[in-house]
Amino acid sequence: MRFARLVAVGLALVVTASGCTSEPSLKEAAAELQKDAQRLETNDVFKNPLMKLRILQHPDKDLRCDKDKFRRVLRATADDERANEPLNSHLGRAQALVENVLVQDFGYKLEHDYSQMDTDEGRFIHGTKKDLGITMTVYVAPEAPTWRLDAMTPCLPR
């Protein structure tokens, strides 16, 4: 009897675990990345013409990344002209602004790298949407354009 219970519990755990590790479909991930592109274009911060938002690559094409697997990519730049302020203050403000947008408006979970807090060379921001495997990297640059966004889906079968 005890053996039967252990087998039943073990099978239940295997079935549950296998359900949790299933990857999203390319269609789901691509749809979310396309929504991110729309969110970027309509976001209160980036729709301001002074921010000079440029979508360099729309996530509307499947790009081969492995045998029978594809991904979608979103690339964009935007600029926040530096006012009469120290470079470190400008970078810190630009970093905080885009981090807030990614978390609050786009739903990304950020990975914090505290070693970049006060660097004047630029700063990288990494975010993920773990349920869909989408990753976003933003480089906050000391020169124009201030933000260089690169988002992509994982490599998935069609």
pLDDT for res 36: 97
pLDDT at position 17: 45
6 φ/ψ angles, rounded to the nearest 5 degrees: -60, -40
Q: So what's the pLDDT on residue 106?
A: 96
pLDDT at 115: 80
Question: What are the phi and psi torsion angles at 33 (to 5°)?
Answer: -65, -35
Confidence of residue 119 (pLDDT cuts 50, 70, 90): confident
Residue 121 lies in a domain: yes
Q: How much is the pLDDT for 151?
A: 98
Quick: pLDDT tens for 62-88: 999 988 999 999 999 999 998 899 999
User: Count of domains in the chain?
Assistant: 1
Range of the domain at 136: 26-157
**Residues 137-148, mean pLDDT to the nearest whole number:** 97
Alpha helix (H) ranges present in the chain? 2-20, 26-42, 87-100
The confidence score (pLDDT) of residue 91 equals: 95
- The answer as to whether 13 is a domain residue is no
Q: Is residue 56 part of a domain?
A: yes
Q: Is residue 12 part of a domain?
A: no
- Flag whether 21 is in a domain: no
> Which range (4-8, 77-81, 103-107) has the least confidence?
4-8
Token pair listed for 155: 């490599």
pLDDT surpasses 70 at 8: no
Is residue 98 a contact partner of residue 90, using CB atoms and an 8 Å limit?
no
Specify if 129 maps to a domain.
yes
Residue 117 lies in a domain: yes
**pLDDT band, residue 4 (cuts 50/70/90):** very low
Q: How far apart are CA 117 and CA 71, in angstroms?
A: 32
What is the pLDDT at residue 45?
A: 93
pLDDT at 21: 55
Looking at residue 116, its pLDDT comes to: 78
pTM summary value? 0.82
What pairs with residue 74 in β-bridges? 151
Kind plus residue range of the DSSP H or E element containing 148: strand 147-152
For residue 7, what pLDDT is reported?
43
Residue 40, helix vs strand vs coil:
helix
Name 75's bridge partners.
57, 150
4 within domain boundaries: no
Segment 138-144 long-range contacts (CB within 8 Å, at least 24 positions apart): 138/98, 138/102, 140/91, 140/94, 140/95, 140/98, 142/87, 142/90, 142/91, 144/79, 144/81
